[in-house]
Copies of this chain bind each other. A is one copy, B any other.
């Protein structure tokens, strides 16, 4: 195999109570990439369609992630990468993660799969470090592994794929304003009240238990962010209204996707997820704000060859 075409899914990081540790893979939206073996060593980004991103390998997340993998295998060939972006940069649904994950997944396939999917996460994180300044796995882990993932620890990297119930659907609305991940990190407080932290980990425990037992009510009760959402919500247009609307229309819970500005809701069943989508749209339709919206099953497979 000298060439591979892959689907690189969008992802929702944090999932309310799981700040910096949880992520969820979407099925309905993502990028495509074509990766080709080349006689010339190294990695070249030969084409980017759909986004204004740097072609220079060392400045491109796919390039950096791919190089990290190649350094680990001492491979004699090189790779040309074409990226077809559908996930907008800065949308909060893992745009950089999709590219980083795609590069390492595709190259790994082309060199005979020396690494497991879990092992690939480590390399993809090097791309995330370029994009946001920190090596985080909360988007690349679900993009690569699919489903809902828990990053128990970053050092050493310990990722657990969490069971998720079959009728869980996500609705994600992306108001097209620019929020930089780095700026959204800056609004966080370095110290948090122990009381709030206890509420947060109580909810995280409840969410994990709800996912394993398909207890949708429990999932709903646990989808609450005590710490980060109050700080970041005000930066997102009509966040409170969108969230309230989602809940009123039957969503189990709603919150900020990643560092925003996208807002997600989780629902039981596609009918509710669609109803939530329509209600969310109605809120932004009253404004001039352009938006994109997606309704998606949880993508249990993750990144894949197409």
Residue in B18, B212, B222 whose CB lies within 8 Å of A212:
B212
Q: Offer 16 A-B interface pairs, CB within 8 angstroms, sorted by A.
A: A20-B202, A21-B201, A21-B205, A152-B202, A153-B202, A160-B209, A162-B205, A190-B195, A191-B191, A191-B194, A192-B197, A194-B227, A197-B200, A201-B201, A205-B205, A208-B208
Cβ of A209 to closest chain B Cβ, rounded Å: 5
Q: Provide the residues of chain B in CB contact with A208, threshold 8 Å.
A: 205, 208-209, 212
Instruction: Say yes or no for A221: interface residue by CB 8 A criterion.
Output: yes
One digit per residue, 1 when the CB lies within 8 angstroms of any chain B CB and 0 when it does not, for chain A 145-184 equals: 0000011110000101011000000000000000000000
Whether, in the assembled complex, A94 has its beta carbon less than 8 Å from a beta carbon of chain B, the answer is: no
Partner of A191 from B193, B199, B227 at Cβ < 8 Å: B193
Residue tally, chain A, CB below 8 Å to B: 40
Q: Beta-carbon contacts of A16-53 to B below 8 Å, as 1s and 0s?
A: 01111110000000000000000000000000000000
Q: Mark A residues whose CB is within 8 Å of B.
A: 17-22, 150-153, 158, 160, 162-163, 188-195, 197-206, 208-209, 212-213, 218, 221-222, 227
CA distance A206 to B212 in the complex (A): 12
Q: A194-B191, A212-B212 are contacts. A205–B150 as well, Cβ < 8 Å?
A: yes
- Provide the main secondary structure of the chain A interface: mixed
Q: Are B194 and A194 closer than 8 Å at their CB atoms?
A: no
- For this chain, the copies found in one complex come to 2
CA–CA, A227 to B199, complex, Å? 14
The 5 A-B pairs with the shortest beta carbon distances in the complex, nearest first, are A152-B206, A197-B197, A201-B201, A212-B212, A208-B208
CA distance A202 to B162 in the complex (A): 13
Q: 14 additional contacts, CB 8 Å, given A21-B201, A152-B202, A209-B212?
A: A18-B205, A21-B198, A22-B205, A150-B205, A150-B206, A153-B203, A158-B221, A191-B192, A192-B194, A197-B200, A197-B201, A204-B204, A208-B208, A212-B212
Q: How far is the CA of A101 from the CA of B22 in the complex (A)?
A: 35
User: Is B152 within 8 A of A21, CB to CB?
Assistant: no
Contacts of A193 in B (CB 8 A): 190-192
Residues of chain B within 8 A of A201, CB atoms compared:
17-19, 21, 197, 200-201, 204
